Amino acid sequence: MRQLLGTPPPHVQQRRPRYRENDQLPGRLAADDARATPGHCPADYPPPILGADANSYLPEFSWAVAHGSPAKRQAAFDSGADIIFLNHDGVNWVAENLHVLKGFSHCTVDEYTAYKNRTTDRSKAMGLIANEIEYITMLSGTPNSNRITDLWFPAFMLDGGKRLGESFYKFQQQTCTPMDIPGASSPYAKNWVEKEGARDVVAQLLSDITIRHVLEDCVDMPANTRRTLQVEMPAAVMKQYRELEKRAVLETAGGVITAVHAGAKATKILQLLSGAVYGAEGEIIKIHPHRAELVIDLVLQREQSVVAFNWKHERDSLVALATKHKIPSP
């Protein structure tokens, strides 16, 4: 059996087969609603970590990572691997090439809260994939994010609206109360406030397809969990890294970087990997966005985050990306 998985942890939510071929159920997403959206952050688990997890937990299965150019993604699906790992950009690509799903029966979505907003291109793409897959598993450490309505679209992908309904707006009216917004320019602008007890009702409706592990159930969980996530640098950046490591001088499009002694060279190398380097006059020479994108992707998957950084240019890059993704700051 071939499987399409996001990551290999145990099941949290699963649904029975929902659609038969040529079914036309209300609310099913149209193919032309899915559009590629450049700039999505890399997945929580970059390729080096995905491979390590697959080898540890599923050694009997072969795997491939559908990442990079369309040709590389196609090659991953053509490889005959049992498991294909995708990031957000990969989800958009698969939605435009649904034929690659032939032979796959399972899809696991890690950190499914990334698909809580039904109107985003990313969520529409995931909805298209859900239509084509027989079994879906969704995982999250924070299933209830800021609003109870965030649960509607993930639940819809699981059961087609069987438990929370086929209409988002009806679900919103059932679980929230519209409140006037003082000073709003339009009388139709409302702040939807969650009704008391709504979460308990929704939890009960989803209880037959949900497995939840609370802290008390995980008595062997360590007090503090540390994970090291690796960012796979593009070949061009690695070439610059090797050159700076060897010569202590690096010529870039933004300027020349010079390290006068071993300590300075180590600092410049760390700056290079972080995304930018300070020039001789203190100017910022930008190199790549990959590390900052990974950090913001992790932040998007959590209700609250504290992010540490080493250099001012890192802070500026993170703030710019956070603003782009409309992440509120304290």
pLDDT at 255 over 50: yes
Rg (CA), the chain: 22
For residue 16, the model assigns a pLDDT of 32
For residue 99, the model assigns a pLDDT of 93
Q: Which pLDDT band, with edges at 50, 70 and 90, does 227 fall under?
A: confident
For residue 36, the model assigns a pLDDT of 23
Query: Is 104 found in the same domain as 30?
Result: yes
Contact in structure between 293 and 321 (CB atoms under 8 Å):
yes
For residue 221, the model assigns a pLDDT of 61
CATH number at residue 58: 3.40.50
For residue 312, the model assigns a pLDDT of 87
Q: Which pLDDT band, with edges at 50, 70 and 90, does 96 fall under?
A: very high
Residue 287 structural domain: 235-324
49 found inside a domain:
yes
Query: Is 89 found in the same domain as 24?
Result: yes
Phi, psi dihedrals of residue 156, rounded to the nearest 5°:
-65, -40
In the chain, the number of structural domains is 2
For residue 25, the model assigns a pLDDT of 27
Highest averaged pLDDT of the listed ranges 184-188, 200-204, 227-231? 200-204
d(CA 1, CA 48): 24
pLDDT average, residue stretch 301-316: 85
137 found inside a domain:
yes
For residue 43, the model assigns a pLDDT of 43
For residue 152, the model assigns a pLDDT of 94
Model pTM above 0.75: no
Q: Count the Cβ atoms, other than its own, within 10 Å of residue 97.
A: 13
For residue 11, the model assigns a pLDDT of 32
Q: Which pLDDT band, with edges at 50, 70 and 90, does 303 fall under?
A: confident
Residues facing residue 190 across a β-bridge? 180
179 found inside a domain:
no
pLDDT at 296 over 80: yes
d(CA 75, CA 17): 28
* Burial class for 93, CB neighbours closer than 10 Å (0-12, 13-18, 19+): buried
297 found inside a domain:
yes
222 found inside a domain:
no
Q: Which residue has the higher pLDDT, 237 or 221?
A: 237
Residues facing residue 104 across a β-bridge? 2
Query: Is 142 found in the same domain as 73?
Result: yes
Query: Is 213 found in the same domain as 239?
Result: no
Query: Is 60 found in the same domain as 97?
Result: yes
Lowest mean pLDDT among 79-88, 218-227, 265-274: 218-227
Query: Is 96 found in the same domain as 210?
Result: yes
Contact in structure between 109 and 115 (CB atoms under 8 Å):
yes
Query: Is 206 found in the same domain as 276?
Result: no
Q: Which pLDDT band, with edges at 50, 70 and 90, does 158 fall under?
A: very high
Instruction: Using the 3D structure, point to which of 217, 251, 281 is the last residue of a domain.
Output: 217
185 found inside a domain:
no
For residue 177, the model assigns a pLDDT of 93
